[in-house]
Chains A and B, each alone.
Chain A
């Protein structure tokens, strides 16, 4: 077109004023509004949960509700959240404990050991697991995993215990296949992808110099990973673990389908239990009376607060342990 235009001309040519001035303003405004509306959304959610749950909170008191171990919507109309807090806590902590090392191991294999194309296949497969709707996982659990666990794992354990340590049977619980252990294992499978993905990212951010420093000390490949790579990536690894933990706390459908849904203590290892999300989804539509509904809302509020706290702790730990430019910050 304009052959006479030199590079200098192009660089020096002023941008349209509207582009420069308006562009900045519009961008700023959009970002500002979006940011504000997210904060607003969070607050309004919390508010709705609080106002709907106020009835239960007034009735039992905050502490009384959280500490209450009886959940009886049928006869006594007494509601305490402790069984569900306990169920949520146990399932997600144990699920994280089960998932943590395998998740890191998968990330290490993808990032360090597997040939690139195999690594890609594994990685996509792991992402795929994260993308499966949890109701589908739940169905698979109901029809495949739980029966299989019952026949091959729970029954033998149960028989063995019954023959040798019958006094432990109440702790072990009923081996019907649906229960806390099954739900926890499924939960562990479901959260592996999050830890793996963030660990893998963190590993790929480790500077070449760190690896070479370890090589130069005569480290073998595994020693390089243990000494230079994983410690350097620890911020990302922990962020992944916390993300997984958050998912485990909030996971609803698959857990509700597999945990057996028992609302009162005592829980047992193999027997049924319930979590905060599972009780909400199970009883929401059949709630009898305002107090019951309000109690479910109050559990929702507690879940909201717990998730918030976990996220804040995660952000703090991640910042604390992350390494930038060779410095611990």
Chain B
């Protein structure tokens, strides 16, 4: 009931603005969208670096319990879009964000909203693994919890173990949780970064090319992980690797030169791209 009415509201809002959304909101997909709630929705989102436009008027929903892939050629604004979803642009002076990003109907750019609390709800994993090199594996995982003053050792142990299991790293590190995070291999470090993001139990997980610097085996592990994680999280993943997007994502957003060209179910988009540019990208004509 609730889901449906929510969906209708979203639908009318969506069709009010933007042309690119309308095409993906056809009747065929209605049933599919109705089955899952919208977790994040951007509305007329712009990100500008001075005069360079990084993201140009993007309005798109991110569905709960799904993996949404952001694809497009290098420099098209994928990272810029992703970082707008948890206010990471606040940290650089040159990026200006306008428009809305609704997290469960709350505009995260509302002046009353504390960006710190937003980042705890919307976790992020970066392209390069970023363990804190001076901290042990354990301390890395629970870093986000210690931040909010949780000191209960038993609780931290439980969370650490759970997050490491979720990140498919536990078996490899369970005997050396006190070793430095920097002592792990690249793939392990990336899974450690994921565990660290999961430990604070965000609602949404943003991942910026999380496997681009990893070997195939680690990549596979992280892909499996995402399929597993989407049961509890909404995941947005930037990827250069179309095969990867095809394997793990439910929805895809294709961006080109800052514009969102196409949004839809990955299966549909990859088989029948509606826009010529999407088709060209998917068939390897550019990018």
A interface residue numbers (CB < 8 A to B): 209-220, 223, 227-228, 231-232, 234, 323, 326-328
In the complex the two chains form, is B197's CB within 8 Å of A216's CB? yes
In the complex the two chains form, is A213's CB within 8 Å of B117's CB? no
In the complex the two chains form, is B119's CB within 8 Å of A216's CB? yes
B147 adjacent to chain A (CB < 8 Å): yes
A210 to B119, CA, bound (A): 15
Contacts of A209 in B (CB 8 A): 126, 128, 130
Across the A-B interface, the 3 shortest Cβ-Cβ residue pairs: A218-B120, A213-B130, A217-B144
B273 adjacent to chain A (CB < 8 Å): no
In the complex the two chains form, is B134's CB within 8 Å of A218's CB? no
Number of interface residues of B (CB under 8 A): 30
Contacts of B86 in A (CB 8 A): 216
Q: Which of A213, A223, A231, A234 contacts B147 (CB 8 A)?
A: A223
Q: Which of A215, A220, A223, A228 contacts B132 (CB 8 A)?
A: A228
In the complex the two chains form, is A215's CB within 8 Å of B88's CB? yes
In the complex the two chains form, is B123's CB within 8 Å of A216's CB? yes
Contacts of B133 in A (CB 8 A): 231-232, 323, 326-328
Residue from B88, B180, B182 with most neighbouring chain A CB atoms (10 Å): B182
Q: Which of B116, B123, B132 contacts A210 (CB 8 A)?
A: B132
In the complex the two chains form, is B119's CB within 8 Å of A326's CB? no
Of residues 74 through 131 on chain B, the ones whose CB sits less than 8 Å from some CB of chain A are 86, 88, 91, 116-117, 119-120, 123-124, 126, 128-131
Residue from B86, B133, B144 with most neighbouring chain A CB atoms (10 Å): B133
A175 to B71, CA, bound (A): 75
In the complex the two chains form, is A231's CB within 8 Å of B132's CB? yes
Contacts of A210 in B (CB 8 A): 130, 132
Known A214-B143, A217-B197, A327-B182; 7 more pairs at CB < 8 Å:
A212-B88, A217-B119, A217-B144, A218-B144, A227-B143, A227-B147, A231-B134
In the complex the two chains form, is A216's CB within 8 Å of B182's CB? no
Contacts of A217 in B (CB 8 A): 119-120, 123, 143-144, 147, 196-197, 200
B135 adjacent to chain A (CB < 8 Å): yes
Q: Give the nearest-CB partner of B120 in chain A.
A: A218
Q: Give the nearest-CB partner of A326 in chain B.
A: B133
Residue from A218, A219, A223, A323 with most neighbouring chain B CB atoms (10 Å): A218
Contacts of B88 in A (CB 8 A): 212, 215-216
B193 adjacent to chain A (CB < 8 Å): yes
